[in-house]
């Protein structure tokens, strides 16, 4: 079974009003979007849909942990993640509106696929750079190799003279 199938909500069968959906997000969800950086995930995602006649307002809220490679040593790091976002799914109107929080759904489809927006909302809220909190937690062999690869400062007197001219 496709891991993303459960994110397809048939809006034609829903009554107007509030509906809540809860999802458990694991690594398979991220693999489905070709995200191979996430080594493991344990995320609770709650999506509250407010169905109206011409639109569905979806409030996404998530909280949990992901395991990703450290940017310094490439060892896995457990990171807490959380976030929320509101997306409006419209069935009619101008489709060329440049607003990322509005998604147009052809009315004849009969269902809304919540997975692309859920994925984007989570990934955007991940830390930009994942590292161990303390460098001592990093793989010290890798840190030592990185220090060895660091370029040595070349004290070239000609460049020093040119830099003096620049500062004058």
DSSP code string of the chain:
--TTGGGEE-STTSPSEEEEEEEEE-HHHHHHTT--S--EEEEEEEEEEEE-SSEEEEEEEEEEEEEEE-TTT--EEEEEEEEEEEEEEESSS-TT---TTEEE--TTS--EE-HHHHHHHHHHTS-SS---SSGGGS-HHHHHHHHHHSPPP---HHHHHHHHHHH-
Which pLDDT belongs to residue 83?
A: 97
Name the most confidently modeled range: 48-52, 70-74, 135-139: 48-52
Lowest mean pLDDT among 84-98, 113-127, 149-163: 149-163
Q: Is the pLDDT of residue 1 over 60?
A: no
151: confidence class by pLDDT, cuts 50, 70, 90: low
**What predicted TM-score, i.e. pTM, was given to this entire model?**
0.79
């Amino acid at each position: 079974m496709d891991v993303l199938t459960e994110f397809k909500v048939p809006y034609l069968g829903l009554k107007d009003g509030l509906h809540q959906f809860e999802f458990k997000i694991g690594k398979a969800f991220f693999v489905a979007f070709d995200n191979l950086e996430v080594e493991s995930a344990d995320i609770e995602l709650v999506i509250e849909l407010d169905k109206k006649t011409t639109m569905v307002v979806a409030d996404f809220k998530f909280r949990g942990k992901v395991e990703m490679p450290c940017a310094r040593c490439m060892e896995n790091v457990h990171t807490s993640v959380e976030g929320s976002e509101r997306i409006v799914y419209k069935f009619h109107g101008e489709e060329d509106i440049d607003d990322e929080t509005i998604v147009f759904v052809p009315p004849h489809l009969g269902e809304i696929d919540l997975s692309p927006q859920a994925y984007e909302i989570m990934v955007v809220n991940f830390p930009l750079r994942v590292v161990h909190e303390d460098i001592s937690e990093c793989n010290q062999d890798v840190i030592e190799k990185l220090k060895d690869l660091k370029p040595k400062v070349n004290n070239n007197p000609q460049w020093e003279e040119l830099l003096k001219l620049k500062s004058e």
